[in-house]
Amino acid sequence: MTSLELDKKGILDRLGIRKLFAGKHQFPVISVIILVGFLFIGLFGNYITPHDPLKNTLKAVNTPPFWLEGGTTEFLLGTDHLGRDILSRIIGGAGISLEVGFVVVVFAGLIGIAFGLIAGYIGGKWDTILMRACDIILSMPYMMVAIVLAAVLGPSKNNIILILVVLGWAGYTRVLRSEVLRVKEGDFVHLAVLAGASKIRVMLLHIFPNIVNTFIVMATLQLGSVIIAEAGLSFLGLGVPPPEPAWGSMCAEGRDQMFDAWWISVWPGLAIMMVVLSCNLLGDWLRVRLDPKFRQT
């Protein structure tokens, strides 16, 4: 471990950040609590929102949070420029981020797993074709291409999901292919082939279980990236169209009022930061926990 890494570790320890997010035995307790809360709010947000997130209350325009002068407990986190409850819109936006994030991770992951198994185990021309496709996608600037495609297809939740799936599978394929190349040299795979197992059976029953750990880590980390990408596109007006309460568009709505009504942008921005940070910390813990090389240390 370098002196720079030691210094970083010491700073984190003194600030209490490592203990806050890692907890005993390095388990990211706070991160898991945040993600479970995010999942619960995303699934049941319609039943727990204090107000309709789309309802305008013009007499309550730009109401500050309840602890500030002029605030009220009716709108705990304040309202926006149209009098819509910020807390209700954050809860509603969690459902959109959850849907986009999980759908993209699942479909991009399934495509990446399938192509990774084919490229790594079958090889040949399939390996060449798939790896060149990965090279093309991974060589392009992710957000720039997403912005262009979103502008061409138009702002829509389904279009955002499609774009992020198309751009997201290559990362899985590249990493999982290398895992397949390693696993297929194992004796248990050679014995399965000698026993007459078909290629599909070998890939699904013998190789796939040995790359699941890598996939889980990648999926956890990509969830945060997808949420950031969806929020960025919504911020630019190319994601989920208004008046749907997407976190990115909420940040955009308050950017011109940061000095007068900072809560319009700050609260959804904090929601994005907390969820993405929690995904990254959980993914890092899973990487250490599931990788045998780290388990030995």
Closest Cα to residue 217, out of 121, 164, 283?
283
What percent of the chain clears pLDDT 90, i.e. is strictly above it? 47
Q: What backbone torsions phi and psi does residue 35 show, to the nearest 5 degrees? A: -70, -40
pLDDT band at 193 (very low <50, low <70, confident <90, very high): confident
Distance CA 194, CA 104 (A): 38
Say what the pLDDT of residue 294 is: 56
Distance CA 210, CA 192 (A): 15
Which residue has better confidence, 285 or 27?
285
Between 18-22, 31-35, 91-95, 158-162, the lowest mean confidence (pLDDT) is in 18-22
N residues, the chain: 297
Say what the pLDDT of residue 77 is: 92
**Model pLDDT for residues 103-148, shown as the tens digit of each residue:** 999 999 999 999 999 999 988 899 999 999 999 999 999 899 999 9
Is the predicted pLDDT of residue 23 greater than 60, yes or no?
no
Is the predicted pLDDT of residue 93 greater than 50, yes or no?
yes
Distance CA 101, CA 57 (A): 31
Round the average pLDDT of the chain to a whole number and report it.
86
Average pLDDT (161-168) is 94
What percent of the chain clears pLDDT 70, i.e. is strictly above it? 89
Q: Write the CATH number of the domain with boundaries 62-295.
A: 1.10.3720.10
**Model pLDDT for residues 219-256, shown as the tens digit of each residue:** 998 999 999 999 999 999 898 888 888 999 999 988 88
Domain boundaries, the chain: 62-295
Say what the pLDDT of residue 291 is: 66
Say what the pLDDT of residue 189 is: 87
Instruction: Give me the residues paired with residue 79 across strands.
Output: 85
